[in-house]
Chain A
Amino acid sequence: MRARPAAFAVNAMLLGASAFAVFPLLWMLAASFMAPGEASTYPPPLVPAHATLANYRELFAQTGMGRYLANSVLLAVAATTLSLVFNVMAGYAFAKLRFTGRDRIFKLMLGALVIPGQVAMVPLFLLLKHMGLVNTYGGVIVPALASIFGIFLVRQYALSIPDDLLEAARIDGATEWRIFRSVVVPLLKPIIVTLAVFTLLGTWNDFMWPLIVLTDRNLYTLPVALASLAREHVQDNELMMAGSVLTTVPVLCVFLALQRYYLQGLMMGSVKG
């Protein structure tokens, strides 16, 4: 059997690569249960000598991490829910409803995808300052309410809805709004889940914009709070690891539960144009 050594090599390499990918995450988890100072020993320990929850206790008691966790959950859920409504409605309309300038607007939007979001950040900050939204939850959410990518994703999927189905509903006298709610939304369910996971992870992980728009510590999201703590607590490795666990584990869980939808969206989104 010539395939044996080859099969062994392929799987060994896969195992090695996976270990490289997962090791930092597993170590983060292990170190978060270590006693303060334990990680700073040589050789670096792989598992805690005596697992302790002290870091988590200190995280919540001393650094207000509970507050940041609540902020992150609130902002991610709100931004995801609202942007889903906006993007799904628009994506469906671009695919299935006729209005003047539809195709031209859509082409312009696709063209605008090449503009990095950071170009807009300085004027956006001034605009939100003018609107009184700087340093509020609204300031974080508002720019995320609609996304060109989200509209594009929904439109591509909605193109496959048969026109006859919509026409039949119209002949039955259903209003456009009614058709959207009872015919279109159920059909779009897979792409809605995909977009929801994308937006949820995107807003949860977002760093630069919340960093700019939030100055009040009480409003910080987890990534912003963690970055600020990491600058103050350079030596407290175990405490920082507990903070990292708290920040990454929720998104990893969402991903593991819904990865089929996430990966599908990733492949759909990549073949744009």
Chain B
Amino acid sequence: MRPTRVAWWFVGPALCVIGVFFVVPVAAALVMSLTDFDIYALADWRNLRIVGLSNYVELLQRPLFWRALGNTVYFVAVGVPLSLAASLGAALLLNSPLARFQPFFRTALFAPVVTTVVAVAVIWRYLLGTRYGFINYALGAIGIAPVDWLGDPHFAMPAIILFAVWKNFGYNMIILLAGLQAIPRELYEAARIDGASSLAQFRYVTLPVLTPILTIVAILTVAGYFQLFAEPYVMTQGGPLQSTVSVLYFMYEEGFKWWNLGNASAVAFLLFLLIFAVTLLQMRQARRSGVWQ
């Protein structure tokens, strides 16, 4: 088939949108991060100055930026393994030949994924309430004193992690379930005839098939969890004592509350570089350990 000019009418509109509203802004963000773009420049472009890397240098000297970075890394480092464990557990249960009403359970477990973060964060804010919340009520039943989940700097981030796991585990569960269902039953049959226990079957049949999928899922989940924003915005507003300020929350306040747009662009770029570096690291690790060829 010969190249056709008419093809451009098909891809042109979409490419224009992506070019104008994504590619150009990303490039502009890099340039803006090298300027002192603030509320004065917003009023009049002539107030704009190129300041080189000084936005980045200043950011790295601000305690709140490091705080936000630390909080975000905490959220990723604890939240991702917990989410993956929940997803894997649920997928294994759903895939068990003993499981009944599979479609019903699958839908129920997946339901939180399609809900609106803001709306369910409002529910969880109540569930986590110190005096009337269900979680403290349940803990009280087993003799644990009420915890001030969203008001205590030690517990606010764990509470947000619990919420995020609840909200997100269904997504990866479906992907892992698809992987599990692709394993032929005969493999298990053969392993059983060879006398393999259920644990050995999991270790030698299930895990090798699942590891590449788990790796991809882990990489995507890490990248997604670095973009924490709506949860602290609704549940804690970054508090208490800035214990739930995430990098994006910091960027939002810096940019759209204080209108330090140059600074905000630098924050966004640093976050991108961080996600990129972590993704590359995970991929290299996966290649080294032979998960991917």
Give A residues with C-beta under 8 Å from B: 3, 6-7, 10-11, 13-15, 17-18, 20-25, 27-28, 31, 39-44, 85-87, 89-90, 92-94, 97-100, 102, 105, 109, 112, 114-127, 142-143, 145-146, 148, 151, 163, 167, 176-177, 180, 201, 204-205, 207-208, 212, 222-224, 226-227, 230-231, 237, 240-241, 243-244, 247-248, 251-252, 255-256, 259, 262-263, 266-267, 270-271, 273
Q: Smallest CB–CB gap between B133 and chain A, Å? A: 7
Asked whether B13 lies within 8 Å of A86 as measured between CB atoms, the reply is yes
Contacts A121-B25, A176-B7 given; 6 further ones with Cβ under 8 A?
A: A21-B170, A90-B15, A116-B223, A118-B227, A121-B268, A255-B111
Give B residues with C-beta under 8 Å from A: 1-11, 13-15, 17-18, 20-26, 28-29, 32, 42, 89-90, 93-94, 96, 98-100, 105, 107-112, 114-120, 122-127, 131-134, 137, 166, 170-171, 174-175, 178, 216-217, 220, 223, 226-227, 229-230, 233-234, 237, 248, 251-252, 255-256, 261, 264-265, 268-269, 271-272, 275-276, 279
Cβ 8 A contact of B3, one of A23, A100, A231, A244 = A100
Asked whether B166 lies within 8 Å of A24 as measured between CB atoms, the reply is yes
Asked whether B123 lies within 8 Å of A28 as measured between CB atoms, the reply is yes
- Listed by A's residue number, 5 A-B pairs whose Cβ atoms lie within 8 Å are A21-B111, A31-B126, A44-B134, A112-B23, A124-B21
Q: How far is the CA of A120 from the CA of B133 in the complex (A)?
A: 39
Asked whether A92 lies within 8 Å of B116 as measured between CB atoms, the reply is no
Cβ 8 A contact of B126, one of A3, A145, A237 = A237
Q: Smallest CB–CB gap between A211 and chain B, Å? A: 8
Asked whether B117 lies within 8 Å of A205 as measured between CB atoms, the reply is yes
Asked whether B107 lies within 8 Å of A143 as measured between CB atoms, the reply is no
Asked whether A143 lies within 8 Å of B116 as measured between CB atoms, the reply is no
Asked whether B234 lies within 8 Å of A227 as measured between CB atoms, the reply is yes
Q: How far is the CA of A10 from the CA of B174 in the complex (A)?
A: 18
Q: Smallest CB–CB gap between B29 and chain A, Å? A: 5
Asked whether A17 lies within 8 Å of B93 as measured between CB atoms, the reply is yes
| Contact residues in B for A3 (Cβ distance below 8 Å) | 98
Asked whether A89 lies within 8 Å of B123 as measured between CB atoms, the reply is no
Asked whether B99 lies within 8 Å of A14 as measured between CB atoms, the reply is yes
Asked whether B123 lies within 8 Å of A24 as measured between CB atoms, the reply is yes
| Contact residues in B for A262 (Cβ distance below 8 Å) | 114
Nearest opposing residue in chain A for B17, CB measure: A146
Query: With contacts A14-B94, A146-B17 known, is A240 near B122, CB below 8 A?
Result: yes
Query: With contacts A21-B166, A92-B10, A112-B22 known, is A44 near B122, CB below 8 A?
Result: no
Cβ 8 A contact of A98, one of B3, B252, B256 = B3
Query: With contacts A99-B11, A116-B272 known, is A252 near B132, CB below 8 A?
Result: no
Asked whether B29 lies within 8 Å of A120 as measured between CB atoms, the reply is yes
Asked whether B125 lies within 8 Å of A230 as measured between CB atoms, the reply is yes
Q: How far is the CA of A40 from the CA of B131 in the complex (A)?
A: 8
Asked whether B11 lies within 8 Å of A27 as measured between CB atoms, the reply is no
| Contact residues in A for B15 (Cβ distance below 8 Å) | 90, 105, 146
| Contact residues in B for A117 (Cβ distance below 8 Å) | 22
| Contact residues in B for A99 (Cβ distance below 8 Å) | 3-5, 7-8, 11
| Contact residues in B for A237 (Cβ distance below 8 Å) | 126
- Most-contacted residue by chain A among B7, B175, B276 (CB, 10 A): B7
Asked whether B116 lies within 8 Å of A251 as measured between CB atoms, the reply is yes
Cβ 8 A contact of B28, one of A93, A123, A163 = A123
Asked whether A207 lies within 8 Å of B122 as measured between CB atoms, the reply is no
| Contact residues in A for B9 (Cβ distance below 8 Å) | 177
Asked whether A163 lies within 8 Å of B166 as measured between CB atoms, the reply is no
Q: Smallest CB–CB gap between B169 and chain A, Å? A: 8
Asked whether B223 lies within 8 Å of A266 as measured between CB atoms, the reply is no
Asked whether B256 lies within 8 Å of A212 as measured between CB atoms, the reply is yes
Asked whether B175 lies within 8 Å of A266 as measured between CB atoms, the reply is yes
| Contact residues in A for B127 (Cβ distance below 8 Å) | 24, 27
| Contact residues in A for B220 (Cβ distance below 8 Å) | 270
Asked whether A122 lies within 8 Å of B268 as measured between CB atoms, the reply is yes
Q: How far is the CA of A97 from the CA of B90 in the complex (A)?
A: 42
Nearest opposing residue in chain B for A205, CB measure: B116
Q: How far is the CA of A81 from the CA of B242 in the complex (A)?
A: 41
Asked whether A118 lies within 8 Å of B248 as measured between CB atoms, the reply is yes
| Contact residues in B for A100 (Cβ distance below 8 Å) | 3
| Contact residues in B for A11 (Cβ distance below 8 Å) | 98-100
Q: How far is the CA of A252 from the CA of B90 in the complex (A)?
A: 20
Q: Smallest CB–CB gap between A217 and chain B, Å? A: 16
- Most-contacted residue by chain A among B1, B21, B175, B264 (CB, 10 A): B21
Asked whether B174 lies within 8 Å of A90 as measured between CB atoms, the reply is no
Cβ 8 A contact of B268, one of A10, A105, A119, A163 = A119
Query: With contacts A17-B93, A237-B126 known, is A22 near B230, CB below 8 A?
Result: no
Asked whether B108 lies within 8 Å of A22 as measured between CB atoms, the reply is yes
